[in-house]
Amino acid sequence: MPYTSLNPATGQVVAQLPSLAGLQWQAALADTYAVWRVWRETGFSQRAALMERLGMLLREQRDSLAALITQEMGKLRREALAEIDKCALACDYYAVHGEPFLRAEMIPTDATSSYVLYEPLGVVLAVMPWNFPFWQVFRFAVPALMAGNAGVLKPASSVPQCAQAIERLFGEAGFPAGLFRTMLVDAREVADVIASPHIAAVTLTGSEAAGRAVAAAAGQVLKKSVLELGGSDPFIVLDDADIELASTVAVQARYLNAGQSCIAAKRFIVLPQVAEAFLARFAAKVAALQPGDPAQDATTLAPLARVDLRDQLHQQVLASIELGAVARLGCRPLPGDGAYYAASILDQVKPGMPAYHEELFGPVAIVLRAADEEDAIRLANDSRFGLGASIWSRNSPWAEKLARRIESGSVFINGMVKSDPRLPFGGIKDSGFGRELSYHGIREFVNAKTVWVK
């Protein structure tokens, strides 16, 4: 199947690229493996210098790279620029901290000397989605290569040009040819790629279905996997919250990237004392979002990445309305070209509705009305997902206590959930396992080798 790049704002096909045949990707993997065997012997200073150069190139080319993101997956131009900046930040961060994170760890025992070495595993396969076509690649590749691994990217079929641009950037920065490689392979061949003797481990960001398939394939051949899957993050507004601040951040937290983010706030859990005040301000700010050309600065609501994704979202909304949910705002596709969906709020959502149990990957906020604070915690945890969460309260120490009761990989208090190179990122339950970023992420794809000397 070819990789098809189309412009979500117009629906026009931009490019079509063929998938690699089996013999082609097998040869490519063998080449990357050979390059890795040399790369693993390089010192951290050499790796860090190349990583700094990569960060510099990202900043120099940020306008053209952001334009490519906007064209290929529909992201607002300013959000695409921020995505490139974040990739550069990750390069800078690991150039400085990669070596300390992987320094030999001395441990006192009955030996004369005993310590733990952190050594690279080999070639890491990354199966990546379309919604953050640069950042999700860089957050795996930068720590993996700093640790002495090689990286092979299997991108989503709708963003091949972004994937090829990333490979080009690694080459321009001076990394050995083939150390980071983009492979346009058919999704049906991913299990065969994982089984290749040249692949040591796999990481995936994507859907639950894709995660289960990749984890099963990796488990079958006893290879390490890290999965970052879906999310349905709760946004809990307590009765002492700063309503103006919470409602303002809520708009960004839900509608960034047209709501196409695993860590977007999706379930707005409100207490009775503040429900109407919060929702009135939130709805007014959501209604002010302007759909349009994502390349224009005046546009504040981007299209979805594909029409089929928009249609799937609308079916979830309609099915929930049929079961009693209330369309407080929007809840409809927008007419005209492109995959646009109205900025929406779905109120009175209850168990049994698709909106309650499923991830809504698009610009639809769902409202859950809690009876009290205890009920708000129950609602937050009543999900098979566990990626992120946020709590809004003027009493931060109390919110910190509540955070310990939230079942998720992260909890942000009075702030929007986001990934940060300095902090570990990942989820629990059906949101996946393993961590990216910080020192936790760089240690996912290394061999913790014990050395004992008498």
Percent of the chain's residues with pLDDT above 70? 100
pLDDT at res. 294: 98
Q: What whole-number distance in Å separates Cα of residue 136 and Cα of residue 86? A: 10
Asked if the model's pLDDT at residue 1 lies above 90, the reply is no
- Over residues 399-407, the mean pLDDT reads 98
Asked if the model's pLDDT at residue 322 lies above 90, the reply is yes
* Residue limits of CATH 3.40.309.10 in the chain: 233-420
Question: Cβ-count burial of 292 within 10 angstroms (0-12 exposed, 13-18 middle, 19+ buried)?
Answer: middle
Q: Which of 387, 409, 413 is nearest to 400 (CA)?
A: 413
Q: Which of 111, 110, 135, 140 is nearest to 123 (CA)?
A: 140
Asked if the model's pLDDT at residue 410 lies above 90, the reply is yes
Q: What whole-number distance in Å separates Cα of residue 142 and Cα of residue 326? A: 44
Q: What whole-number distance in Å separates Cα of residue 371 and Cα of residue 378? A: 10
pLDDT at res. 74: 97
pTM for the full predicted model: 0.97
pLDDT at res. 198: 98
User: Are the beta carbons of 152 and 190 closer than 8 angstroms?
Assistant: no
233-420 — its CATH code? 3.40.309.10
Q: What whole-number distance in Å separates Cα of residue 344 and Cα of residue 329? A: 5
- Over residues 398-413, the mean pLDDT reads 98
Q: Which of 136, 186, 119 is nearest to 445 (CA)?
A: 119
Using the structure block, give the residue that is written with the tokens 């025992």: 109
* Residue limits of CATH 3.40.605.10 in the chain: 3-229+431-453
Average pLDDT, the chain: 98
User: What is the DSSP-derived secondary structure letter of residue 176?
Assistant: P
3-229+431-453 — its CATH code? 3.40.605.10
pLDDT at res. 49: 98
158 by DSSP, 3-state: which? coil
Which sequence positions are flagged as catalytic? 228, 262
pLDDT tens digits for 326-350? 999 999 999 999 999 999 999 999 9
Sequence-separated (6 or more) residues with CB below 8 Å from residue 376: 236, 238, 269, 271, 370
Q: What whole-number distance in Å separates Cα of residue 309 and Cα of residue 260? A: 10
pLDDT tens digits for 53-71? 999 999 999 999 999 999 9
pLDDT tens digits for 36-52? 999 999 999 999 999 99
DSSP string, 353-373: SHHHHS---SSEEEEEE-SSH
User: Are the beta carbons of 120 and 148 closer than 8 angstroms?
Assistant: yes
Asked if the model's pLDDT at residue 213 lies above 90, the reply is yes
- Alpha carbon of 96 to those of 171, 221, 250, 348, 445: distances in Å? 21, 35, 34, 49, 19
DSSP string, 363-412: SEEEEEE-SSHHHHHHHHHSSSEES--EEE-S-HHHHHHHHTTS-SS--E
State the pLDDT confidence band at 210, using cuts at 50, 70 and 90: very high
- Over residues 357-380, the mean pLDDT reads 98
Q: What whole-number distance in Å separates Cα of residue 73 and Cα of residue 70? A: 6
